[in-house]
Amino acid sequence: MKPAASLFFASIVAIAGQLGAAGSLPASPFAWRDSGRDGIRGITVGPIENGYHPGRGYGSAAYERTLAECNDWGANWVALTPFGRVADLSGQGVDLTFEAPFAKNEADIRAAIRQAHAHGLRVMLVPHLWVESGGWRAEIDPRSDAGWARWAASYGAFVKTWARVAEQEHVDLLSVGVELRSWVTTGRAPSFGALIADLRAIFHGPLTYSANWDDVEDTIILGAVDVIGINAFFPLAERDGAALGELLAGGERVRAKVARLAATWQKPVLMTEIGYTTRPDPAVRPWEWPDSMVHVRVDEEAQALAYHALIRPLLEEPSFAGLFVWRVYADPDDVSQEAEWGFSPRGKLAEHVVRDAFSAAWAGDGERRRPGLR
């Protein structure tokens, strides 16, 4: 643990323990499994990130086709990501408008949740931040106590708005934040813990927080949520051209980290995002965004091997609650959302890896799905 986090660790754990007392799962690394829930075989369905494509986003007939594909893959969950906009990293506030007026986005999200439930899919709602300047949300810094108070109030209004939607539409899991490192790994964390307490008064289902893969061990609000979430873009190797054995060893290291986190916090662990781009050696620097790449060779086999190496060890870990594949889009036929070498496994070799994983019995499954494996 880094010094900045360790200075506050004891006090935040105490605060988090008090705030987390209202949680919907008992304190146990195996709480997801032991509550009878099956492992989350999830797919993130992204919105259509362009206002010039009406009728193709959440709540549309096109989105119905994506849900049918999720069913066909063997998924039992989808994640939906309503975005709020922030101008830059100065933390001036969150604008709930994204590509369309908020009222339209809210109606579309409500429809999308209902459609997913009608397809027999559970829903994780993930209020997300889009930074217009191109910076990373983890580095938001209002730089003063007053600035942080304004930021906390604005972000709180944003996530509470979506928590009300989640409660009213019977969402199955709510992520309270995504990659907010500058807030949840520092002395600013108590204000985020207080926000979680407020959210519990609005949304009565289980909560998670989507930590980045490289700061989850420094995230000191985990005691306040029910499930530890990780955006799991873990590197599985340190060099290009790594063989499958090296990648699998990387996957085993991830499994060991999952087990340690679950034991430390007495909570199950969920990969709120996993994904690898469709290019050579995607498991070396998996966080690199495809939009910034040029002259890329599409490599479906490399993507599939990375998926296999990460997922296979995790399926043997009883504290592993599941994963959400990052990502497909609300219109399965709209290829304008990312390059061919992007993250989506749809129609690629990696899709077969995901299908195989979703059809297997997991150590983290409830008793119905894994008889005799307990």
Examine residue 195 and state whether it is found in any structural domain, yes or no: yes
Stretch 129-141: mean pLDDT = 96
Please check the confidence at residue 8 and state whether its pLDDT lies above 70.
no
DSSP H or E segment with residue 293:
none
**CATH number assigned to the domain comprising residue 152:** 3.20.20.80
Instruction: Look at the chain and report how many structural domains it folds into.
Output: 1
Examine residue 218 and state whether it is found in any structural domain, yes or no: yes
Name the residue range of residue 142's domain.
Answer: 28-359
Examine residue 12 and state whether it is found in any structural domain, yes or no: no
What distance in Å separates the CA atoms of residue 332 and residue 325, rounded to the nearest whole number? 15
Examine residue 161 and state whether it is found in any structural domain, yes or no: yes
Question: Residue 332 to residues 62, 64, 65, 329: CA-CA distances in angstroms?
Answer: 7, 9, 7, 6
Choose among 129, 142, 218: nearest CA to 177. 129
Give the pLDDT of residue 291: 82
Q: Is 145 exposed, middle or buried (0-12, 13-18, 19+ CB in 10 A)?
A: exposed
Please check the confidence at residue 21 and state whether its pLDDT lies above 60.
no
Please check the confidence at residue 372 and state whether its pLDDT lies above 70.
no
Give the pLDDT of residue 369: 63
Q: What are phi and psi of 275, to 5 degrees?
A: 180, 150
For residue 187, the Cα-to-chain-centroid distance in whole angstroms is 24
Please check the confidence at residue 19 and state whether its pLDDT lies above 70.
no
Examine residue 19 and state whether it is found in any structural domain, yes or no: no
- The predicted-structure confidence for 52-93, as pLDDT tens digits, reads as follows 788 899 999 999 999 999 999 999 999 999 999 999 999 999
Examine residue 22 and state whether it is found in any structural domain, yes or no: no
Q: Is 160 exposed, middle or buried (0-12, 13-18, 19+ CB in 10 A)?
A: middle
Residue 143: what residue type?
Answer: R
Contact assessment for residue 323 and residue 270, using Cβ atoms and an 8 Å cutoff: yes
Residue 109: what residue type?
Answer: I
The more confidently predicted of residues 153 and 23 is 153
Residue 54 CB partners (closer than 8 Å, separation 6+): none
The residue whose two tokens read 């206002």 is: 51
Examine residue 304 and state whether it is found in any structural domain, yes or no: yes
